[in-house]
Chains A and B, each alone.
Chain A
């Protein structure tokens, strides 16, 4: 800027220019401390990721890791793969999603579009409480209900049921947030055309909120995939693929990690870190998918 106005040139020097040393030191200390807090939090993150990647990379670098199960592999033997555990992880969380997503989305629709009065308040409160229910308690509940009371055997499906409880609050929350972001004008325009409320919700509100909802659902899937407590309580470990959802043992990555931790051999350690890296890659994939969905579907708006 070539021209300077009088406004830019103060007429008088500011009265308070000097900050006393004590205050300045305190201010700098505080700034340093807050930045240090952030740095401290980065230590475990980098450390964990570095450990998992550096120790797990050798295991997952081989092709058999992705195409074989642990069938016939002895504890002290290097080799085999985690195909069966990847299968189990995906199947269990997919079945959970099939139940939790419609239920969660409908509950969110209830809360945003219909909920008023006491039931809505109680529901919001209970969603918060459900979000705080420890995974082991969810697992224990499914055990008490599904296995001890109803008499079903331990199975992958029981794990999925426990995962439903853990997914529900996340799905409800994220969907609720997204539905609330849909402008009321859209709803009003639809009503003005004489379209009934339910159709407005299904054809206007939900499609508008869809990208956010999908990414929220993907993130909730990522969350339950790493849960270990339900698989410990509700299903046993198997060394090969079990395609029966309702009976028998089924491996999953967290269960495999836990199982191999008890194996003191070097081969076991390798599998532990390899499975941890595989699990993190799987979760990272879901996170990336969530980001892509969000970006792709919101771009043309």
Chain B
């Protein structure tokens, strides 16, 4: 057992810190810290800065222009980025589609699409969920019918995150309705500009417009946009999921959130003393901090297992459940910490005009609390993760 990072890892952390200090634009980190909505331009800017340093595709092999970092390096990098309030790298192209194309895509697809992910030419979104297919993803109905050198796509996707910025969507579509659900699904790349596609924003309960509904009416997609083999899409989707679930514990976000919470609790006064000295509130903070300390080690244990070549299985489900519970608890405490000033709804639109509504730090916290209810729902809800954990445990395979 050695609980400390190696000298090499520590040096790497220093390198990351120096990079963030020098290259992360302060107007961007200010926006992230303030909980403001990032524009497409904001995302593109950070994307380009990381790309220039060669630190964008941290999970890709070098042959495809990636950094090819091991799990520990990725963890350190993501943790430092979160703590520095760097914008979140949009995952759809980089951590989801990229690995699928590298493993299952044709040479032509790799040559065409992968560089475009890196240079930001394409913005990808994920077209999996449908109104009737959420947790039960395999019941999806959007159909793709072979017609000459095209597929004709009809159906509806929903919850498409940042689809309003995307020019490309990767979709799971049904190419064979006559077989067992999982066996008739294909993985298709679709240009959002194709006639017959309609995108409608869904406003979430905190007022944000980050997800969309996407309709397909007789959308013609060239057959060369099929990834891998027809009807094998489920296999690729499952492979993608294992990648979607990297950094799933989100300990960097929790650590940044805990720092912010303590800052706020130091500034707020309750009953004549700093809130952080209030025994009840201090106990609440301490409890979640203790959870996070253990979570960080849990995370590192899983990471070092992954770094030694073992595929993450049920571990990622455990990290997802516990990681989201901790993040949501921190969001909850932060909302409580600001007291009555959690009540105002300060939208992006009026933020400038209403500088006087409570302390700056109070403005986003209630919205973040409500918005982050999503993290235990999306990417496989916590109930689904627990099912996976329980099933594995029943087979005697949890370590």
Do A and B pair up? The answer is no
Binding site for A on B (CB under 8 A): none
